[in-house]
């Protein structure tokens, strides 16, 4: 498991939201080629990379029973929110529950006071970066866990199983992961994304999501002659942000609470561009948030002149709950598998999205299962090796129980 994971994170597959190619980072093809080769070596003879960069493979059934076709899915890209180049992974065996020194040269420390979840894993083996890059457990841990499960099944042919489908997708982190995914060709009755967080997480609810881009047209005049003439796009952008509720930001919300999140602000006096992501689990509240932003923009245009602010809002994905609820037996199957392995299922909403949320709306119900990782998208990402092993065991147990 560890060797696989370290091999995968060595390839920088950060997705690029500004790219006009798919995948957005061609290094994702390099990982795809590696994974397709490994799948073939495990006996999945049809493993291949399609023209859009998806890695697809089938483990044929070894039983005559009428067993559902189950898919397991993970994404190959990592987040563009932090550096993913030259990842230097650190393995902390028999973790002592204290602060972790990640980088002696730069004195980078992961403090228990900041990340109290660390203490849950006292005595275990933690994997981190050196604090200068992300680790890449989101979602290369999921890939490693699926691959380890397939290897276990290959080594233990006595375990009866139905047909198993595997997919590794590009560009999930920028919301494009299943833009070209062919659900019918994939051929699964249902699937699981292996893309969750801590040990035991099992999720079938996620945010409704939209992206907003606001372009602000200012007017730059020499400051000595600016009276009554200058329109400072920087200040207008700040005024727009102040028009949104300050307590409804990611740093102040939890659970089912939604938010407005300013993700980018590029500004001069003459011109500014602001980008937000808008999130809420409740669809009515989601629509209200978009309306609130439109109202704020319209009011500012009334104040400063029509066309001063231009707003584009694009929905990205929706809460999968309505698509999973009619087939809750697939969630129950995952819960039973976890309980059989003495893992307590943690049923919680995803404060984000996965490929599974979009796939569920494309006709492939797809709950989300833990990988074991914490602090995704940042320099203090970590994952316990023991949680990775448990995730792989859950995959095998789901497969085994579905054919029982």
Q: Are strands 271-280 and 208-217 parallel, antiparallel or unpaired?
A: antiparallel
Q: 172, 195, 205, 355: which is the annotated catalytic residue?
A: 172
CATH topology of domain 209-317: Alpha-Beta Plaits (3.30.70)
**Tens of pLDDT along the chain (404 residues)?**
999 999 999 999 999 988 999 999 999 999 999 999 999 999 999 999 999 999 999 999 999 999 999 999 999 999 999 999 999 999 999 999 999 999 999 999 999 999 999 999 999 999 999 999 999 999 999 999 999 999 999 999 999 999 999 999 999 999 899 999 999 999 999 999 999 999 999 999 999 999 999 999 999 999 999 999 999 999 999 999 999 999 999 999 999 999 999 999 999 999 999 999 999 999 999 999 999 999 999 999 999 999 999 999 999 999 999 999 999 999 999 999 999 999 999 999 999 888 999 999 999 999 999 999 999 999 999 999 999 999 999 999 999 999 99
> What are the C-alpha distances in Å from 169 to residues 78, 194, 221, 265?
11, 12, 49, 30
pLDDT score of 344 = 98
pLDDT score of 175 = 87
pLDDT score of 363 = 97
Q: 77, 171, 198, 355: which is the annotated catalytic residue?
A: 77
CATH (residue range 2-205+319-402)? 3.40.630.10
CATH 3.40.630.10 residue ranges in the chain? 2-205+319-402
Q: Is 77 a catalytic residue?
A: yes
Measured CA to CA, the distance from residue 58 to residue 163 in angstroms comes to: 7
Measured CA to CA, the distance from residue 177 to residue 373 in angstroms comes to: 20
pLDDT score of 266 = 97
User: What pTM was computed for the model?
Assistant: 0.91
Q: Is 386 a catalytic residue?
A: no
SS3 of the chain: CHHHHHHHHCCCCECCCCCCCCCCCCHHHHHHHHHHHHHHHCCCCCCEECCCCCEEEEECCCCCCCCCCEEEEEECCECCCCCCCCCCCEEECCCCCCCEEEECCCCEEECCCCCHHHHHHCCCCEEECCCCCCCCHHHHHHHHHHHHHHHHHHHCCCCCCCCEEEEEECCHHHCCCCCCCCHHHHCCCEEEEEEECCCCEEECCECEEEEEEEEEECECCCHHHCCCCCECHHHHHHHHHHCCCCCCCHHHCCCCCCEEEEEEEEECCCEEEEEEEEEECCHHHHHHHHHHHHHHHHHHHHHHCCCCEEEEEEEEECCCHHHHHHHCHHHHHHHHHHHHCCCCCEECCECCCCHHHHHHHCCCCCCEEECCCECCCCCCCEEEHHHHHHHHHHHHHHHHHHCC
pLDDT score of 123 = 98
CATH 3.30.70.360 residue ranges in the chain? 209-317
């Amino acid at each position: 498991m560890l060797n696989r994971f370290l091999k995968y994170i060595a390839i920088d597959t950060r997705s690029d939201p500004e790219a006009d190619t798919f995948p957005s980072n061609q290094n994702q093809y390099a990982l795809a080629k590696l994974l397709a080769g490994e799948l073939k070596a495990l006996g999945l003879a049809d493993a291949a990379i399609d023209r859009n960069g998806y890695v697809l493979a089938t483990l044929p059934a070894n039983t005559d029973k009428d067993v559902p076709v189950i898919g397991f899915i993970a994404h190959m890209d990592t987040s563009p929110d932090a550096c993913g180049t030259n990842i230097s992974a650190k393995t902390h065996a028999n973790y002592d529950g204290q602060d972790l020194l990640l980088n002696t040269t730069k004195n980078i420390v992961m403090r228990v006071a900041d990340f109290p979840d660390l203490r849950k894993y006292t005595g275990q083996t933690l994997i981190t970066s050196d604090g200068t890059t992300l680790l890449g457990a989101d979602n290369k841990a999921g890939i490693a866990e699926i691959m380890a499960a397939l290897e276990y099944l290959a080594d233990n042919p006595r375990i009866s199983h139905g047909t198993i489908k595997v997919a590794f997708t590009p560009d999930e982190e920028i919301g494009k992961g299943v833009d070209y995914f062919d659900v019918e060709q994939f051929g699964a009755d249902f699937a699981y994304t292996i893309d969750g967080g801590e040990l035991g997480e099992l999720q079938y609810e996620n945010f409704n999501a939209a992206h907003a881009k606001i372009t602000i047209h200012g007017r730059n005049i020499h400051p000595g002659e600016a009276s009554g003439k200058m329109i400072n796009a920087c200040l207008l952008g700040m005024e727009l942000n102040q028009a949104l509720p300050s307590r409804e930001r990611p740093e102040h919300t939890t659970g089912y609470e939604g938010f407005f999140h300013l993700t980018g602000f590029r500004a001069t006096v003459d011109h500014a561009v602001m980008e937000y992501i808008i999130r809420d689990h409740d669809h009515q509240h989601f629509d209200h948030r978009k309306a609130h932003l439109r109202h704020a923009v319209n009011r500012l245009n009334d104040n400063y002149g029509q066309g001063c602010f231009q707003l584009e809002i694009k929905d990205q994905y929706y809460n999968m709950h309505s698509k999973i609820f009619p087939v809750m037996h697939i969630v129950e199957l995952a819960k039973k598998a976890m309980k059989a392995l003495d893992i307590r299922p943690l049923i919680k909403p995803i404060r984000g999205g996965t490929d599974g949320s979009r796939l569920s709306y494309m006709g492939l119900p797809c709950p989300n299962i833990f990988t074991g990782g914490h602090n995704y998208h940042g320099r203090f990402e970590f994952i316990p090796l023991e949680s990775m092993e448990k995730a792989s065991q859950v995959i095998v147990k789901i497969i085994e129980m579905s054919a029982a």
